[in-house]
A and B are shown apart, each in its own frame.
Chain A
């Protein structure tokens, strides 16, 4: 479980190497799409956890994830509307979504404490990967100041989530 790198995490790591290889950086409409997609992925994982998790801290954490990521994604939608930007689907978003679907199916096969541990471990890894992508790729590439600022706030929120997930994971051991 822990040896296998989460698929979504791998996709986010690819994000930086792919962009570097091509010498291109994602555009604002692509960045908005990637950030929004990353939020949707975590909301879907959390919804699965709300129905499957047995530990109350894990369930509460999942509820926090739905609430926060929905609030952030609503802000993102408000911003793209205001800026008149249409989020643009791209290979990174597609890979993220496909691999997240696979991860959900994998987690769905687990039960009880095994599921709880696997979900929280994936949350730690996933937030770490998203934060890495935000810091090294998405924030530096964003040209619009408001988009950049929203991504920076997102980074602080998700760093908080990562620490929260690490605390929940530590209690499960």
Chain B
């Protein structure tokens, strides 16, 4: 559509692709007995969260600000990559008494 604008974007993406694998971490958050553990996690944009659901119930990890909404089926592990920075409060849509915080650095 706008060919003139493409090359810088491609360069940026390539740089991004090179930079991310060097720093990105995988962080595990366990859901057990309706509790997210650890309840407070510090991460960075580009990190992967492994959501390990040990319960027999479906849960969600839903950001209050709408940044993410991960569905975790019973006894399954689901991964998601953090794309936006912020101090995010999240909860389970099905059991809103389940709450935790994910602080994502840029």
A160 touching B97, Cβ below 8 Å:
yes
B58 within 8 A of A: yes
Contact of A164 with B58 in the complex, beta carbons under 8 Å: no
Q: Is the CB of B92 within 8 A of A71?
A: no
Is A156 among interface residues, defined by CB-CB distance under 8 A? yes
The residue of chain A having its C-beta at the shortest distance from the C-beta of B56 within the complex is A71
Majority SS of interface residues in chain B? loop
Interface residues on B, range: 10 to 19
- Give chain A residues whose Cβ lies under 8 Å from the Cβ of B97: 156, 159-160, 163
Please, how many angstroms separate the alpha-carbon atoms of A68 and B60 in the complex? 13
* Cβ A74 vs Cβ B33 within 8 A: no
CB distance A68 to B34 under 8 Å? no
Total interface residues on A, CB under 8 Å, equals 16
Contact check, B96 vs A75: say whether CB atoms are below 8 A apart: no
Interface residues of B (CB under 8 A from A): 33-34, 56-58, 74, 92-98
Q: Given A68-B57, A71-B56, A71-B74 in contact, is the A156-B94 Cβ separation under 8 Å? A: no
- A90 at interface (Cβ–Cβ under 8 A)? no
Give the residues in chain B near A13, CB-CB below 8 Å: none
Bound Cα distance from A157 to B97, whole angstroms: 9
| Chain B residues near A64 (CB-CB < 8 A) | 94
Q: Which 5 A-B pairs have the closest CB atoms?
A: A160-B95, A163-B96, A156-B34, A160-B97, A71-B56
Asked if A33 is at the interface of the complex by the 8 Å CB criterion, the answer is no
